[in-house]
Structures are given as structure tokens and as C-alpha cells.
Amino acid sequence: MQNKKIILGVSGGIASYKACDLASLLVKDNYKVQTILTDSAQKFISALTFKTITYNDCYTNQFDYDIVEPLHIEMCREADLLVLAPATANLIAKMANGIADDLLTTLICAYSSKKPILLAPAMNTAMWENPIVQANLKTITENLNCTIINPIEGQLACRTEGIGKLAEVENIYKQAVSLLSKNSSNLQLPILPEGEWSGLKVLITAGGTKEPIDPVRFLGNRSSGKMGLALADEAYKKGADIILITTQKALKRNYKIIEVETAHELQKAVESYFDTCQILIMSAAVSDFRPLQVFASKVKKSRSESDWYLPLTKNPDILETLGRLKKENQILIGFAAESDNLIQNARKKLENKKLDLIVANQVDNTEIGFGSDYNEVYLLTQKDNSEEIILPKNTKTQIAFQILEFVQDKFLKC
Ligand code: CTP
């Protein structure tokens, strides 16, 4: 029997009706759900619907109560989790700026910055990509104990395709349950956000290594580092202690970042932190070869044609080495970048490198993978040699979230 209390704040957008399914899932799980609808939400859905689904009051008016304390104060005191789904750009803006001009925003303002909030935005793509909306979200995550479950890509009500659809209700529900499974009332303000992964040390590599030929040129690959960065951001949101080793420059994050360029530098950095980490995610595209010789000065095109070849030597396979050194309690996750026979080649790498999980992606599709903001991947594990699982095309942030949820379910649960 659950006795945890959830406030479900619904703002007005076409996705408002999906909050009914969310309320229903939570009630079936025996959570006590109290709903607040904004004025705009009531244009899409009625208070009676929520009252019926939750067997509980649904509030729409700040002054409509018959208790001694103001309604928003009483509700805040009792709540274990505040879920805002869907959250419109307007609600997000008010929240980021401390505006309190109706019941929901007043309650958000009065809600403790230590208690957990789950925010599920939904809006038109241009609104989602608006830098002001993004800046508001950043303010919220920096100041409140708020987990954002990003919108997904799809056909929007405004008859366009893009990111902005409310995340799957099932995923919002799972995230809410996992936030509630902690004693969330005791959470501290998130310098390192508390979460399901708090105490876990996660080492992540990202980007594509560059192997110098001369002071101007290098051997490289098309990896942008976005997937690894998304994994680091999502693991950080779960409360993990992150070290990101990346070829990207000047990233600003609240976790430790080590900038590297070559495979050799990456290897040195990974090996110096590997012993103390519980999870290693090697999403970096490591160059398999490097020029045998690095020229001290720029190679001129006037060079004799007989010298126009570039002898290469092999770089060490970092992950394969670590697969052999790995301890019982360590989880090793690799990526497989393939242009052909995706699943067979990924499974070979999974076995040869003694990995717990491999994330396979097709790299010859320009709409996903290298450089893109989207990805579509398959997850393969050694355990029970089961079928691969597909994570269909989605933003890298969402794919990262799903990979970590999978890791959590498969390896971190007793
Ligand atoms: N990897 C590594 N060291 C290397 C090459 C790859 O640690 N020298 C890691 C990558 O970070 C990735 C995994 O091994 O997690 C698979 O990398 P990938 O480039 O797909 O495959 P390779 O093992 O390099 O094999 P091939 O290039 O022949 O497909």
C-alpha cells in the first residue's frame, strides 16, 4: 500500500488530456494524487475528469478552499512529489521567474526547493527550441530539485513534425515512481543532484579522437561527442558522480570534465579513473590507427610524389584491455559504430571485449548517429544472450535516458 502523495499540475496544451492517463497509472499504483488545473488546462480538460480518476479533489481556484491554512501551503506540506505534465512554455517561464499568479504557480513558488519536482514539457518545436525557454529550464534545474523529462519528436498538433510532444506517459510514470522510491523529502539542494544513482561513480568517454599528422592536419572521425555528453548529463541528473573524458572543448557542466585529443591521452585518462568507477561508458569513437610518424612542421604539397603515403600504426584497444581487467562489481558499456551487419558485428564486440552491454548504432545514416542530434540504437547484453532491444529514433537526450533506465533495470536492481 503506497501512502505517498503526488500533486499533479496540469497546464494548458493539447497534451493536457494525457495527464489523465498519467493520473490513472499513479492511482492504480495506490499513490494519492491531487490535481491542479490552470485556467488554460480547463479549456482542454475538466476538473471532473480528474476528480473521477483520482477519487480526490481537483483544484482550479486559489481561493476555493474550506481549510484553515491557504490551500497551496497545505498541499505543499503534504506532498512527496510535484509532477508538472504537461508543462507549457508559459508555466516554465513563470516557474523560472518566481511568478505566482494562480493556484499552480503559487504552489510551485511555495514548494520546497529540496523536494522533488518532475517536469514534462510539451509545446511546439519552435517554442521548445526558443533560447529563452531553454534558459528558463536551465534556471529551474539549477535552483530546484527538478528532473526534466524532455519532450519527444513526432507529429505535433500544429501539423508539423519535430520535437515537442509530451514524453510517453509510461516514461513519465516510471520516472515519478523512481523519484518517489527514495526518501525524497530529505533531499538536499542539488549541487550534485540526489537521485537513484547517487553514490555511483560513472566514467564516460565522448567524441572522436584526433591523431596528429603534422601541426595542421590530423586523422579523425565524424563523432561529435553529443551522445556521450547526453549520457553524462542524464547520469548526472540521476545523481551519479560523473567524470566525462571528451574531445569536446570548453563544455560548462557541474561535473568533472577532462579534455583529451588523441587515443593515447584518452587511454591515460580512462585508466587513471577506471579503478574507482562502477560504470564505464565508452561512447568515444577512438581512432584505431595513428600516423607512425608525426611531422614537426607542416608537410608541403611540393613534397616529392614518391613520399605521398602515410604509414600508420595501431592504437591500443582501450575497452578490450579494460574488459580483461574489469572487477566483479564493474559494469562495462561499449558502443559499436557499424555500417554493415550491425547486430552481428556488435555482438562480436560485446563478446570479444567482455562487455556487459553494447549500444549498437548504424553510422552511415546521416539522420541519426554521428553529428546528429538524434540517434536510433540497439542494446545487446551478454546476460541470457537475449534478443537485442531497439530504442527507436529519438533525441540523443531521450536515447541517453532510455539507455540509463535499461542499465538500471538490468544491472543495478537486486
Ligand atoms: N574502442 C576502444 N579503443 C579503440 C577502439 C574502440 O576503446 N582503439 C571502444 C569504443 O569506444 C567503443 C568500442 O570500443 O566503445 C567499439 O568501437 P568501434 O569503433 O565500434 O569498433 P572497433 O573495436 O574499433 O572495431 P572496428 O573499427 O573494426 O569496427
Which three three-digit cell numbers place residue 176? Answer: 515519478
Question: Which residue's CA lies nearest to atom 21 of ligand 1?
Answer: 336
Pocket test for ligand 1, best of 282, 287, 312 (most atoms within 8 A of CB): 282
DSSP-assigned beta bridge partners for residue 162:
154
Least confident of 93-102, 186-195, 276-285: 186-195
pLDDT of residue 203: 98
pLDDT at 218 over 80: yes
Q: How far apart are CA 164 and CA 227, in angstroms?
A: 20
Which three three-digit cell numbers place residue 409? Answer: 533495470
Q: How far apart are CA 404 and CA 170, in angstroms?
A: 16
Pocket test for ligand 1, best of 223, 246, 289, 349 (most atoms within 8 A of CB): 349
Nearest atom within ligand 1 for CA of residue 288? 8
- Residue from 78, 88, 62, 79 nearest 117 by CA: 79
Q: CB atoms < 10 A from the CB of 188, how many? A: 11
Question: Which residue stretches of 299-408 are H helix?
Answer: 318-325, 342-352, 396-407
Within 6 A (CB) of ligand 1 lie 263, 282, 284-286, 288, 315, 317-319, 334-337, 349
How do residues 19-64 score in pLDDT, each as one tens digit? 999 999 999 999 999 999 999 999 999 999 999 999 998 999 888 7
pLDDT at 183 over 60: no
Q: What percentage of residues in the chain have a pLDDT greater than 90?
A: 66
Q: What does the DSSP 8-state code read for residue 129?
A: H
Cα 357 to chain center, whole Å? 18
Please state, in angstroms and as integers, the Cα–Cα distance from residue 59 to each residue in 7, 41, 103, 107, 272, following that order: 10, 12, 8, 11, 55
Q: Which of 58, 146, 158, 277 is catalytic?
A: 158
Which three three-digit cell numbers place residue 29? Answer: 499504483
Question: Which residue's CA lies nearest to atom 8 of ligand 1?
Answer: 317
Distance 337 CA to ligand 1 centre (A): 8
Nearest atom within ligand 1 for CA of residue 336? 20
Q: How far apart are CA 12 and CA 20, in angstroms?
A: 13
Distance 248 CA to ligand 1 centre (A): 19
pLDDT of residue 406: 92
How do residues 361-395 score in pLDDT, each as one tens digit? 988 887 777 878 899 999 999 865 667 889 888 88
Q: Which sign does the torsion angle of CA 181, 186, 190, 192 carry?
A: negative
- Average pLDDT (316-334) is 95
3-state SS, residue 17 = helix
Question: Which residue stretches of 61-102 are H helix?
Answer: 71-78, 89-96
Question: Which residue's CA lies nearest to atom 24 of ligand 1?
Answer: 288
For the chain, domains (ranges, CATH) are: 5-182 (3.40.50.1950), 188-411 (3.40.50.10300)
Q: CB atoms < 10 A from the CB of 300, how many? A: 8
pLDDT of residue 191: 36
pLDDT of residue 279: 97
pLDDT of residue 73: 82
Q: How far apart are CA 54 and CA 180, in angstroms?
A: 18
Contacts of residue 167, Cβ cutoff 8 Å, sequence gap at least 6: 120, 149, 150, 151, 152, 398
pLDDT at 189 over 70: no
As a whole number of angstroms, the longest Cα–Cα distance in the chain is 92
pLDDT of residue 292: 94
Q: How far apart are CA 12 and CA 381, in angstroms?
A: 42
Distance 286 CA to ligand 1 centre (A): 6
Q: Which value, in Å, is the radius of gyration of the alpha carbons in the chain?
A: 24
Single-letter amino acid code for the residue at 151: P
Model's pTM, two decimal places?
A: 0.59
Highest mean pLDDT among 139-143, 315-319, 410-414: 315-319
Pocket test for ligand 1, best of 264, 286, 289 (most atoms within 8 A of CB): 286
Catalytic, 158? Answer yes
Q: How far apart are CA 147 and CA 121, in angstroms?
A: 11
Nearest atom within ligand 1 for CA of residue 335? 15
How do residues 140-175 score in pLDDT, each as one tens digit? 988 888 888 888 888 888 778 888 899 899 889 988
